[in-house]
Structure 1
């Protein structure tokens, strides 16, 4: 199994707001050795120090602020402070851009430009999907596949497997088609309905074994956008399931 197995911290956003240090300690106590933050500019020095203390690595960071800053250098400097080479755009491009070839080309141009800026800071840019990059099908292929063709080879994809399924994709087939472009996966599970709460990985309708097998080298990042049970309990169950499923 690709190491390390991580947690997207958006999963525990309320706990982080209440007590960041306690939330990260609970994640480490569960046995996770990696986290994926979603706001690199929020005390990057303090976050790095605490992660080091807890033995948590940071394989990637979500950095939507890159789309919102006129001068993204501040965000990229924070990513460097936290200590990862992978900065991911998780949202911020209009949904309608993925419904036409021209719109997809605009999205690719935007990401390629940001990738060049990120490279100047020693970073590699990635893009994370939701359902709206998969639901539009143009000439028999999902919009995300068309986007991948237009992206600079340096730009990678973090495929949110659950959102891809909700967008209508056969996720294992999609991952196979995208190949080495996929650097990371968001692994999540649930009832596969737009409004249904997520479940611990392995407890829902996602074909998790097939999904993971289709991208054997991609980073595995557990994320639960919402959950009716205790989130930390669900994270513990998710880790146990994925760890048992894949050979070390």
Structure 2
């Protein structure tokens, strides 16, 4: 695979607060080659120095503050981190995904942010949870209706676990979304809201089928919470995914 396996750093958010550099070193030591930050405003220049020294690629960054405050300030920070992708991970009202008018509002917001990101050399993406999947509009998941209304340059980062929890057949959903999907959040667990996640490869998710359905998308491992040590779970997930790539 041309793109190195990545980690969404929200997975290790608690440890990052106490020793960011050590945690990033541990992630690189496991074998991951990419990271996806969740707060680009937190020392972007210092963060870039560390990841550059470790040889890590920044696949993209989440940036909920694009919705909460002046987008220009956020986009300046994203550009300083050294990536070409900025992703809205939440912040759009859940109820907007239950009606066609609400989906249109969400698309208008994202398309407008994409226009603001373009002069920075950045492409905008959107990351789902279950609430964009559970509602059906005209027999389709709301995320599919949203995709139809997004500008061509806006991509999707599909959280495969939350898509499954929301009721989607994830490989088929990915097949229908096609090239709109530029990145995947790969996670595993019991497939139940409120239950802790597990290392990738140890839960109910059909990971091989999911990866096969979107072969060009960047694979980003994320665990929102886990009953075991997070870094141990990341190591186990890396071993599983690396073995899949060798098969």
C-alpha displacement at 1:176, in angstroms? 0.1
Cα offsets for 1:5-34 (capped at 9, x unmatched): 100000000000111111111111111111
Does residue 1:193 correspond to 2:189, yes or no? no
**Mapped contact 1:2–1:216 kept (Cα < 8 A):** no
Aligned to 1:243: 242
Cα offsets for 1:137-179 (capped at 9, x unmatched): 1111000000000000000000000000000000000000000
Kindly report structure 1 stretches of 4+ aligned residues shifted beyond 6 Å: none
Aligned to 2:162: 163
What SS is found at the alignment partner of 2:183?
strand
Aligned to 1:204: 203
TM-score for both structures, normalised by structure 1: 0.98
Within 5 Å, give how 1:177-192 maps onto structure 2.
177-192=176-191
What SS is found at the alignment partner of 1:19?
helix
Aligned to 1:19: 19
C-alpha separation in 1, matches of 2:91 and 2:137: 22
C-alpha separation in 1, matches of 2:95 and 2:13: 28
C-alpha displacement at 1:247, in angstroms? 3.8
Within 5 Å, give how 1:104-115 maps onto structure 2.
104-115=103-114
C-alpha separation in 2, matches of 1:8 and 1:45: 19
Does residue 1:34 correspond to 2:4, yes or no? no
C-alpha separation in 2, matches of 1:159 and 1:118: 20
**Mapped contact 1:111–1:151 kept (Cα < 8 A):** yes
C-alpha separation in 2, matches of 1:14 and 1:187: 20
TM-score for both structures, normalised by structure 2: 0.99
C-alpha displacement at 1:2, in angstroms? 4.2
**Mapped contact 1:2–1:218 kept (Cα < 8 A):** no
C-alpha separation in 1, matches of 2:12 and 2:2: 23
C-alpha displacement at 1:3, in angstroms? 1.2
C-alpha separation in 2, matches of 1:116 and 1:2: 29
Corresponding pairs, count: 247
Within 5 Å, give how 1:104-143 maps onto structure 2.
104-143=103-142
C-alpha separation in 1, matches of 2:233 and 2:40: 25
C-alpha displacement at 1:211, in angstroms? 0.4
C-alpha displacement at 1:100, in angstroms? 0.2
What SS is found at the alignment partner of 2:120?
coil
C-alpha separation in 2, matches of 1:18 and 1:157: 31
C-alpha separation in 2, matches of 1:126 and 1:220: 15
Aligned to 2:59: 59
